[in-house]
Amino acid sequence: MYSLLLVCVIIVLALCFDYVNGFHDTANAIATSVSTKALSPRAAIIVAASLNCLGALSGTAVAATIGKGIIGVNPVSPYVLIAALFAAVFWNLFTWYFGIPSSSTHALIGGLVGAIIVAYGTGMVKWDGFISIFAGLIATPLVGLVAGSLIMTLLFWLFKNASPARTNSRFRKLQILSACMASFAHGSNDAQKTMGIITLALFSGGFIDTFTVHLWVKLICAAAMAAGTAMGGWKIIRTMGGKIFRIEPINGFAADFTSAMVIYGGSLLGIPVSTTHVVSSSIMGVGAAKRLKGVRWNIARSIIVAWFVTIPSAALVAMIVYKIMQVFIL
């Protein structure tokens, strides 16, 4: 059984993670529409915050995967969850400060695995569940890369004889729709991860009898993500929106549409995906279809390096935090 105080600490940390996730990953949905001036920064933030909130209320399949798919201990120590959440928040803030579009999902998964290992040993990690989640995290960006390239190629073929100015004017309007789709998809996947942690804490602490995500948990997670989204993440927007390649409205639409489909598909299947990775790989795929040499692969390379650094780095931070708590609290 947890004390009420410990549950409150976990909920506050989880909402901090959700809030940071909101402004850290805002760029996922609105970077291309801001870059092409389809939306003003202010309008883009309002769109992203509103649709993130609605998306967060749309399901719980990903929450169940996070809450039950990695940890092989029941009940799990509250200090494991505290260490994991602290590590995820720290890594998000660290990468946000340097403008690196790293994955909040990888940070949370890494934090959970690191905290479990240091608390219980490697035997208490559900490695089949972890491998399944990790496989999804690796596969979905590849799907985004290929799908982005195919969709962009199709659009080029469909509009090859159209006036470039008229085509871009049309797709600048369509980008508003695609930004809404991407924002909704982002909320549908990312906010559920926090719901899973909070529900796990309530279940392990004996406050609920079954692993069921209650409405109030959905509402506070949706609100925290929307509030974080409203803060924006302009450093990462600059990286995602212009440094990978020069984005025009038709490219922005293709990238947003692709990433929205891949992310929401993951949400329906209960697969936690990295929205950052899917969006960045979709942009790279679209850019490669436009002109292979036009993609600034050095920026893409730094993003890919961040993919493989995040999980072990967050795991290490979680281990250190747990050890510190073990000395001073446990």
> For position 303, what pLDDT does the model report?
66
> For position 240, what pLDDT does the model report?
54
Residue whose structure tokens are 């579009």: 101
> For position 168, what pLDDT does the model report?
85
Positions in the chain whose pLDDT score sits under 70: 1, 26-28, 99, 101, 232-245, 294-296, 298-300, 302-303, 330
Q: Is residue 125 classed as helix, strand or coil in its secondary structure?
A: strand
Establish how many alpha carbons lie within 13 A of residue 110's alpha carbon, considering only the half-sphere containing its beta carbon.
Answer: 29
> For position 244, what pLDDT does the model report?
57
First and final CA of the chain: distance in angstroms?
15
* pLDDT one-digit tens code per residue, 246-280: 778 898 899 999 999 999 999 999 999 988 888 88
> For position 245, what pLDDT does the model report?
58
Distance of alpha carbon 247 from alpha carbon 239, whole angstroms: 12
For residue 117, the surrounding DSSP H or E stretch is helix 104-120
Q: Is residue 8 classed as helix, strand or coil in its secondary structure?
A: helix
CB 60 within 8 A of CB 195: yes
